[in-house]
């Protein structure tokens, strides 16, 4: 495993670094991001590195495609089916209003209200069925969202983190009817209590999954055509990596993955230079990210930058 390539696709430029650990040779490249089809700029930069695709052993890709889609409100058109009476949870949020107990504020959810529908069902906080799921409600809501042109769908019921029976049943129905693969249940993305936290993370996933997954699939397919033999790895926001084949079902984990790579690199450089506490800055064409961190423990560093609960930063 001697030839490693790192790629960071930003909103303005795409950056590349190639390192051959066997010879010590390295090369860099920088190309404009081809926003209409980011895979074109990706492949152009690989060519400019001067290393054949079939010679690359390790290819890691960080991207702000999902982050920018959320920040710029350019995500896919998503729909939501939730417990009857709770369609406005995403809009009410948690501590998001200027006056905590007032009725005014500027929070704008990723899924517009007319695409947030309801189905009869109810679990209590212990996971016991209070009201059985109405499958006819689910089918009617799914069909309405298809007719409205929704590209992706979130099923988000109360207390599904403790009992996912109703969500799982609704997802099975929805996936039989939905015209594409972009149907997700809240408990499949992040299984934690509190409806806003779980629902907002699922909404982010639904908003960016069609965009990020299609782009990554194009890149992976084009690399394979060029002779790349290994798995394309995609950076996660916690500093880890996942297979490109998993992006469609874990798209929310790519949000902030570009800046996360910079934070990890900065921490390693600071540690080698003998600095225990640092501030990192990552200024891109669309957004700027700043982190203060301790380099003493890699595990504590990953906890600091983990985005498993995507909340008010992406309003």
Q: Would 131 be classed as within a structural domain?
A: yes
How buried is 309 (Cβ within 10 angstroms: 0-12 exposed, 13-18 middle, 19+ buried)?
middle
Q: Would 17 be classed as within a structural domain?
A: no
Instruction: Give me 200's structure tokens.
Output: 């907002």
Interval 184-198: pLDDT, tens: 999 998 888 888 889
Interval 123-156: pLDDT, tens: 999 999 999 999 999 999 999 999 999 999 999 9
In sequence order, what DSSP letters do the residues of 207-251 get, joined into one string? HHHHHHHHHHHHHHHHHHHTT--S--EEE-TTS-EEEGGGGGG-G
Total tally of structural domains belonging to the chain: 1
Q: Would 39 be classed as within a structural domain?
A: no
SS3 123: strand
User: Which domain, by its residues, includes 171?
Assistant: 78-207
Q: Would 176 be classed as within a structural domain?
A: yes
pLDDT for 31 beyond 80: yes
Distance CA 15, CA 32 (A): 9
Identify which has the larger pLDDT, 49 or 98.
49
Confidence of residue 102 (pLDDT cuts 50, 70, 90): low
Q: Would 49 be classed as within a structural domain?
A: no
Q: Would 171 be classed as within a structural domain?
A: yes
State mean pLDDT over 62-80: 85
Instruction: Give me 315's structure tokens.
Output: 């309003």
Instruction: Give me 223's structure tokens.
Output: 């690399």
**Cβ-based neighbours of 152, under 8 Å, separated by 6 or more:** 76, 77, 78, 79, 180, 182, 183, 184, 206, 207, 209, 210
Alpha helix stretches (DSSP H) within 50-153: 65-71, 89-92, 135-147
Q: Would 250 be classed as within a structural domain?
A: no
CA-derived radius of gyration, the chain: 21
**Cβ neighbours around 271 below 10 Å, total:** 16
Among 53, 75, 78, CA closest to 227: 53
Contact by Cβ (8 Å): 305, 292: no
pLDDT for 105 beyond 60: no
Distance CA 292, CA 270 (A): 12
pLDDT for 100 beyond 70: no
pLDDT for 307 beyond 50: no
Q: Would 158 be classed as within a structural domain?
A: yes
């Amino acid at each position: 495993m001697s030839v490693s390539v790192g790629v960071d696709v930003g909103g303005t430029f795409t950056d590349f670094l190639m390192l051959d650990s066997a010879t010590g040779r390295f090369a860099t490249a920088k190309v404009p991001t081809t926003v209409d089809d980011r895979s074109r700029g990706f492949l152009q930069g690989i060519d400019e590195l001067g290393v054949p695709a079939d010679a690359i052993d390790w290819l890691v890709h960080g991207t702000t495609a999902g982050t920018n889609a959320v920040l710029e409100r350019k995500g896919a058109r998503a729909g939501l089916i939730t417990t009857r009476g709770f369609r406005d949870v995403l809009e009410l949020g948690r501590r998001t209003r200027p006056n905590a107990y007032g009725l005014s504020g500027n929070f704008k959810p990723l899924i517009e209200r007319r695409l947030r529908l309801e189905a009869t069902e109810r679990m209590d906080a212990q996971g016991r069925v209070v009201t059985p799921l109405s499958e006819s409600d689910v089918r009617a809501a799914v069909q309405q969202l298809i007719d409205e042109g929704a590209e992706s769908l979130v099923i988000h019921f109360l207390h599904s983190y403790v009992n996912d029976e109703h969500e799982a049943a609704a997802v099975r129905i929805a996936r039989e009817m939905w015209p594409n693969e972009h149907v997700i249940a809240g408990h499949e993305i992040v299984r934690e209590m509190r409806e806003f936290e779980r629902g907002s993370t699922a909404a982010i996933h639904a908003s960016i999954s069609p965009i990020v997954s299609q782009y990554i699939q194009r890149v992976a397919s084009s690399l394979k055509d060029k002779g790349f033999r290994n798995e394309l790895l995609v950076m996660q926001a916690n500093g880890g990596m996942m297979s490109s084949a998993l992006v469609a079902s874990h798209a929310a984990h790519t949000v902030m993955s570009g800046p996360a790579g910079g934070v990890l690199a900065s921490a390693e450089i600071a540690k080698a230079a003998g600095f225990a506490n640092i501030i990192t800055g990552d200024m891109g064409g669309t957004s700027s990210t700043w982190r203060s961190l301790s380099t003493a423990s890699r595990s504590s560093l990953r906890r600091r930058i983990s985005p498993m609960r995507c909340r008010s930063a992406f309003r």
